[in-house]
Amino acid sequence: MAPASPQPIPSAAERFGTALHLIPELADVERVIRATFTSDVSPMRDIPEYLLSLGGKRIRPALTLLCAKALGSEKISQEIVTVAAGIELIHMATLMHDDIIDQSPIRRHKPSPYARFGTPLTLLSGDFLLTRAFGLCAKLDDEIVDATEQACIELVEGEALETPLHTDNHDLSSSLTIARRKTASLFRLAAFCASQITGAPSVTVAHMCEFGESLGTAFQIIDDILDVTSNEATLGKRPGLDIAERKPSIVNLLWLASGDPAAQRLRTPPSPDESEYVKHSLEHLRVSSVMTEAKALASRHAERAASALHAALNSSTTHNQQATEGLFAVLDFALDRMR
Amino acid sequence: MAPASPQPIPSAAERFGTALHLIPELADVERVIRATFTSDVSPMRDIPEYLLSLGGKRIRPALTLLCAKALGSEKISQEIVTVAAGIELIHMATLMHDDIIDQSPIRRHKPSPYARFGTPLTLLSGDFLLTRAFGLCAKLDDEIVDATEQACIELVEGEALETPLHTDNHDLSSSLTIARRKTASLFRLAAFCASQITGAPSVTVAHMCEFGESLGTAFQIIDDILDVTSNEATLGKRPGLDIAERKPSIVNLLWLASGDPAAQRLRTPPSPDESEYVKHSLEHLRVSSVMTEAKALASRHAERAASALHAALNSSTTHNQQATEGLFAVLDFALDRMR
């Protein structure tokens, strides 16, 4: 008989897939989301449905459900499902409004809702989803309502701070503030709501918030990295948009801080055709120490997230090992995207 | 001694002014509104503050307070003040988003927030105010939360239905549906919340809803009339925009229904310069039976509002005569604008 082949180590993507099997309730979240697309005015159903059909990792609802399970919640309550749906609806609303703000033609290889349905109906669909999200969350406890309001305010503030590099004097610190507000706010909200609704002690809730915020910040840094290192097939849109549009991304700010003279053009208004500059910048950046630094920064935030998660679980009276591994798989999956 | 001069009959504007004296709590509403403009990101304070500084009748909060007082509520509760502020914040958010959708350069004789601060920050300020409104309303009873969600959804749906005359087959009925959803929804919400929070019997609440909805519909019809009959000094923007932009306004639909061949151009896309067509149309419409019909339609909705208000007060165990007169003054003031 042939000797048993050694057990292959599962990839980050496989472990993430396994984690998703722990939360079949994600299908309930999807049902709650779809149930809010109720209107006799067809674009208010069709545009949200179109955005949902473009796919996505549903990482915020997955995080909500996994956090609740990791803290020992055997049965996922309706409140958890509701809040997970609400958070994803807020995220969807901001994607619609973002595409208008950035005039983005493409999302996930397809025309963005903005490109397909135009500004008026996309803007209104975003308002529609924001209203539905609040309709869901308003019925929950005051702490959840307050946290949801706060997260939405931070999100909007983060986007308002995201002015181009040639109009404002951004630095790495302001760039991290933007990442924290525009992206980490909803990750933090997911972790907060899950632990709060599960009835975790306040120290555990605080650690979970730190976990969500650090994970979300890492996630945004990685998004900024992928804009340089990835390709159109994976990104679903052209790489280098942060350079072309002079975004105050983490990578752009690290590049500027490096003293590289080629980065200085980021401080000037974009010209009608930025393709040559983007092409050269990407070639140069991909092999530069700027990316090493950016990846190190993402890793540091991921480590902070891991420590906070350990602290949260250690301070919790109950926890579930499998779901905890699922959360680490989410973290690894996020990091794996930048490798 | 000279004989006493006869008592002059106060004008609608004077009676409206008197009605405002009955609700000093409007200053509290204004304070609650301003208190939500809290952010360390300056545009999120400055843009709402700019819009508020452009003035306005604050008719929705005034309506909320007067309805509560008319139903015999001696002391205005904090809930009433909160909901009145929330409704005005929703209204402000939709003004910001509307200006983006319509690319309106002017609001109340000044650059619109959109024209002054651009699409990104104006869109985000609208989201900011919508979030703040929900933050206020979410703490109230479930009935209020549900009604607020429903009103916002109707409002957004009404705007989504407001497609240009050359792209959709509007008729008078769809035009009235748009008026009801985009404008009457918040008037109805104001009347509902006031009567619900005051603890009025359900039959009274239903009559008050009918009052709010009919008043709001009349208000929108009058707005559509003023676009034809008023002038730039009063409107704060050029008249005839509904014609130039092919809006499915009540007046435009009545004009089309009149069979006037000149109206048919409303069914064709606007040309780069519509000024001659607008000029001739205004001159013609101002003396045409179309305006008589539009005014009659506004009056019918105002009469419906008056009947519903009488029915509401008759079904209520308590009511206040002065505040009731104040509500009729609001109705008269609205109608007076079209005379």
Q: Tell me, what CATH number does A282's domain have?
A: 1.10.600.10
* Average pLDDT for B177-187: 98
pLDDT band at B295 (very low <50, low <70, confident <90, very high): very high
Nearest CA in chain A to B178: A41
Collapsing DSSP states into helix, strand and coil, what is residue B47? helix
What is the structure's pLDDT at A1? Answer: 54
CA B34 to CA B52: how far, in whole Å?
Answer: 9
Name the phi and psi angles at B101, rounded to 5.
-60, -45
Q: Is the ipTM of this complex over 0.90?
A: yes
DSSP A261: G
Residues of A in Cβ contact (< 8 Å) with B121: 160
| Domain interval for residue A98 | 12-336
Average pLDDT, chain B: 95
pLDDT digits over B62-113, tens only?
999 999 999 988 899 999 999 999 999 999 999 999 999 999 999 999 999 9
Please give the residue of chain B at the shortest CA–CA distance from A124: B156
Tell me if A329 is assigned to some domain: yes
The band of A10, judged by pLDDT with boundaries at 50, 70 and 90, is: confident
Overall number of domains in chain B: 1
For the record, the structure tokens of B309 come out as 């208000």
- Classify residue B99: in a domain, yes or no: yes
What is the spatial distance between Cα B170 and Cα B189, in angstroms, rounded to a whole number? 26
Q: Nearest chain A Cα to B96, which residue?
A: A123
Residue ranges in B24-77 assigned as alpha helix (H): 26-35, 43-53, 59-70
pLDDT digits (tens, 9 = 90+) for A283-300: 999 999 999 999 999 999
Is there a domain that residue A180 lies in? yes
The pLDDT value recorded for residue A8 is: 80
Asked if A245 is an interface residue toward chain B (Cβ–Cβ < 8 A), one would say: no
Count of CB pairs separated by less than 8 Å, A with B: 111
Any domain includes A6:
no
> Considering only CA atoms, which of B88, B104, B65, B57 is closest in space to residue B227?
B104
A137 contact residues in B (CB cutoff 8 A): 138
Calculate how close chain B gets to A95, using CA atoms only, in Å.
12
Residue B171 amino acid letter = D
Between the alpha carbon of residue A80 and those of residues A20, A142, A296, B25, B91, the distances in Å are 16, 15, 34, 39, 31
**pLDDT at residue A46 is higher than 70:** yes
Residue B225, CB half-sphere, CA atoms under 13 Å: how many? 25
Which of these, A107, A134, A137, A108, lies nearest to A122 by C-alpha position? A107
Residue of A nearest to B126 (CA): A127
Residue A4 lies in a domain: no
B3 in any annotated domain: no
Question: CB–CB of B157 and A120 under 8 A?
Answer: no
Indicate if the pLDDT at residue B1 is higher than 60.
Answer: no
Determine contact, residues B237/B106, Cβ cutoff 8 Å.
yes
Quote the pLDDT of residue A337. 85
Q: Find, among A336, A311, A338, A337, the residue nearest to A324 by Cα.
A: A311
In the structure, what pLDDT confidence band is assigned to residue B3 with cuts at 50, 70 and 90?
A: low
B41 closest CB neighbour out of A128, A132, A161 = A161
Inform me whether the pLDDT recorded for B5 exceeds 80: no
Q: How far apart are CA A201 and CA A188, in angstroms?
A: 17
Look at the pTM and tell me if it is higher than 0.90: yes
Averaged pLDDT for residues A226-241: 93
Tell me if B159 sits within 8 A of B98, measured CB to CB: yes
Say which residue the tokens 């704060």 belong to: B236
DSSP β-ladder status, A106-107 and A110-111: antiparallel
Is residue A3 in a domain? Answer: no
Using a CB–CB cutoff of 8 Å, tell me whether B296 touches chain A.
no
In a domain, A304, yes or no: yes
DSSP B85-131: HHHHHHHHHHHHHHHHHHT--EETTEE-HHHHHHHHHHHHHHHHHHH
Q: Which residue in A127, A132, A142, A181 has the most chain B C-beta atoms within 10 A of its own C-beta, making it the best mutation to test that interface?
A: A127
